[in-house]
Amino acid sequence: MIVIACPGQGSQSPGFLNEWLELPGAREFLGEASERSGVDLIQHGTVSDADTIRDTAVAQPLIVAASLLAWRELSARAVLAEAGVAGHSVGEFAAAAAAGVLSEGDALHLVGVRGRAMAAAAAQARTGMSAVVGGVEADVLAKIAEHRLTPANRNGGGQIVAAGALDALAALAEDAPRGARVIPLQVAGAFHTEYMSSAIPVLREAAGTVAVSAPKRALWTNADGSRISDGGRLVELLVSQIASPVRWDACMEGFQQAGIAGLIELAPAGALTGIAKRALKGVPSVAIKSPSDLEAAAALVAEAA
């Protein structure tokens, strides 16, 4: 099975949509996506600087729209009927649309609501996230707890992301677990922790207004890495996910149990294929960073068929 992975926040970079806009229909799609999400995605994906697109309210719909555009383009070049999908954090909204649980428009609407609600929550306290790379997992988790932080993303491949107050993150960096490095991330808050709890009712209300269908393909959840067969249950998890840890490590275990033959990361790609190279050794992968990567991705699908 080919698994299509949809990236999360922090994968965006200034100007990354410029090449995509050269594709037929891309500008029209992104214009519609801008209307649904309430964010000028063309502006932010082409000329906005790094600080602007770091804003949670901008970054989240920008990433999901880019993933859906890449999904459309890959679908035009490869047969994806047997592919499974999963998303990391906000990438779960792109995965939900690719799996047919949500329409693209509804996924973009919800992620616009989510981004604004989480930005408002992040503004209430000085918080952030840092990747802890290396070390023994048990030691890393113990050290994170010692500094009253949350293991917000358990990504596998020797990476756990700690989240919480900025002073606690600074203390963790000074007291890193043995054999580990602590790397601050370019995000605007402590996502997937209790600091985000005020955003949950906002997204829950919006989620109650959209149509939901059963997934049409294999779909894994960040909650525990299990496969989801009930679209309504996935939407519930998309809401609670705001303040719950991401278990990408468990998702990758699910991919292995399903017999993964290759992993393709949609735009803006790189982080998830990097983790896969460490955690899914021997599994070929392609990161679709630009339209020039689409042919390599289509070839990987064909090889796995």
pLDDT in tens, 213-255: 999 999 999 999 999 999 999 999 999 999 999 999 999 999 9
Q: Is 115 within 8 Å of 33 (Cβ atoms)?
A: no
pLDDT of amino acid 188: 83
Cα 121 vs. chain centroid, distance in angstroms? 19
Q: What CA–CA distance (Å, rounded) separates 7 from 27?
A: 21
pLDDT of amino acid 120: 97
pLDDT of amino acid 305: 81
CATH of 127-184, one of 3.30.70.250, 3.30.420.40, 3.40.50.2300, 3.20.20.70: 3.30.70.250
pLDDT of amino acid 107: 98
Beta strand pairing status for 159-165 and 127-134? Answer: antiparallel
- And the tokens for 255? 């991919």
Residues 254-294 have pLDDT tens digits of: 999 999 999 999 999 999 999 999 999 999 999 999 999 99
Q: Is 160 within 8 Å of 144 (Cβ atoms)?
A: yes
Q: Is 271 within 8 Å of 11 (Cβ atoms)?
A: yes
- And the tokens for 234? 């996935």
Active site residue 89: yes
Closest among 303, 305, 291, 296 to 73, alpha carbons compared:
291
- Give the burial class of 148: count Cβ atoms within 10 A of its Cβ; 0-12 exposed, 13-18 middle, 19 or more buried: exposed
**HEC-encoded secondary structure of 234-290:** HHHHHHHHHHCCECHHHHHHHHHHCCCCEEEECCCCCHHHHHHHHHCCCCCEEECCC
Same fold across 2-123+193-304 and 127-184: no
pLDDT of amino acid 30: 98
Q: What is the mean pLDDT of residues 37-50?
A: 98
Q: Is 252 within 8 Å of 5 (Cβ atoms)?
A: no
Q: Please, which residues have CB within 8 angstroms of residue 15's CB and are 6 or more apart in sequence?
A: 45, 46, 47
pLDDT band at 165; cut points 50, 70, 90: very high
Task: List the CATH code of the domain at 2-123+193-304.
Answer: 3.40.366.10
Active-site pick, 88, 109, 192, 285: 192
Residues 176-225 have pLDDT tens digits of: 999 999 999 978 899 999 999 999 999 999 999 999 999 999 999 999 99
Supply the DSSP symbol for 176.
Answer: P
Q: What CA–CA distance (Å, rounded) separates 231 from 84?
A: 15
Q: What CA–CA distance (Å, rounded) separates 183 from 153?
A: 14
Residues 70-128 have pLDDT tens digits of: 999 999 999 999 999 999 999 999 999 999 999 999 999 999 999 999 999 999 999 99
Active site residue 192: yes
Q: What CA–CA distance (Å, rounded) separates 142 from 177?
A: 9
Q: What CA–CA distance (Å, rounded) separates 46 from 161?
A: 29
Residues 1-38 have pLDDT tens digits of: 999 999 999 889 999 999 999 999 999 999 999 999 99
Domain definitions of the chain by residue range: 2-123+193-304, 127-184
Q: Kindly report the CA angle at 185 between 205 and 117, in degrees rounded to 5?
A: 15
Q: How far is CA 134 from CA 141, 265, 271, in A?
A: 12, 23, 16
Question: The whole model's pTM is what?
Answer: 0.96
Q: How many H helices and E strands in the chain?
A: 13, 8
Edge-to-edge strand ranges of the sheet holding 84-87:
84-87, 2-6, 262-265, 285-287
3-class DSSP state of 262: strand
Q: What CA–CA distance (Å, rounded) separates 251 from 260?
A: 11
Active-site pick, 48, 89, 130, 285: 89
- And the tokens for 116? 């604004």
